[in-house]
Every structure is written in structure tokens, then in C-alpha cells.
């Protein structure tokens, strides 16, 4: 419902022991039917945090670690530059967990 004076939306307002529809400009609608719908919000579900073991699911590659000289590393790709440029490949050493990147 909208105010006939200014066009703003009418909001429910408590006046004495009655509820009326009122506007911020001062207009009050006494004849309006009020239909209020109350909804009960369910409690938010809790999210469990699990230890990070996602690196076990990353592919393994033959890559030379610049820190410990190990020859195997997990890798993943991230688009760090413009869409028409190549992705950046990140490596994580299996042995020392050192992370480095390689641009193609």
C-alpha cells in the first residue's frame, strides 16, 4: 500500500492499542486491513572446520624444489592475470612444503 499524498510505502504503526498504516509524511490510513505474516527463522546450521588435507588431492608432478632440491611437488593452477593470458602454476614441495610459482 502506498501513501496517496506522497507515494511512499505505508508501514504498520502502533497507535494506542490499534495498529494502523502510516507514512513518514504524516498520513495515516485507519481503514486498511493489516495482514501480518510472521516467519520463524531456523537456527543457522553450524559448519565444521576440518583439518586441511586438501593437498593430498592435488596432482603430483616432477618439479625441482628451489629450497630443498626435492624432485616431486603438488601443483594447482590459478588465473592471476588477464583471461587471455596463461594461468600461473603453483607448486608445493612434498618434502619441505615450500610454495613457488611458475609462469608459462
Whose cell is 490499534? That residue is: 18
10 Å Cβ neighbour count for 54?
10
* Residue 91 to residue 47: CA distance in whole angstroms: 29
Beta strands in 1-104 (DSSP E): 11-15, 18-22, 28-29, 60-62, 72-78, 88-93, 99-103
- The reply to whether 85 belongs to the active site is yes
**Which entry of 54, 85, 87, 102 is annotated as an active-site residue?**
85
- The reply to whether 84 belongs to the active site is yes
**Which entry of 43, 53, 84, 104 is annotated as an active-site residue?**
84
> Active-site residues: which are they?
84-85
Amino acid at each position: 500500500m502506498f501513501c496517496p499524498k506522497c507515494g511512499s510505502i505505508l508501514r504498520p504503526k502502533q497507535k494506542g492499542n490499534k495498529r494502523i498504516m502510516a507514512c513518514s509524511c504524516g498520513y495515516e490510513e485507519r481503514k486498511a486491513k493489516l495482514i501480518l505474516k510472521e516467519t520463524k527463522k531456523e537456527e543457522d546450521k553450524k559448519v565444521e572446520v576440518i583439518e586441511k588435507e586438501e593437498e593430498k588431492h592435488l596432482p603430483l608432478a616432477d618439479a625441482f624444489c628451489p629450497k630443498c632440491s626435492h624432485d616431486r611437488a603438488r601443483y594447482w593452477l590459478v588465473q592471476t592475470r588477464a583471461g587471455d593470458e596463461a594461468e600461473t602454476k603453483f607448486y608445493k614441495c612434498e618434502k619441505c612444503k615450500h610454495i613457488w610459482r611458475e609462469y608459462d
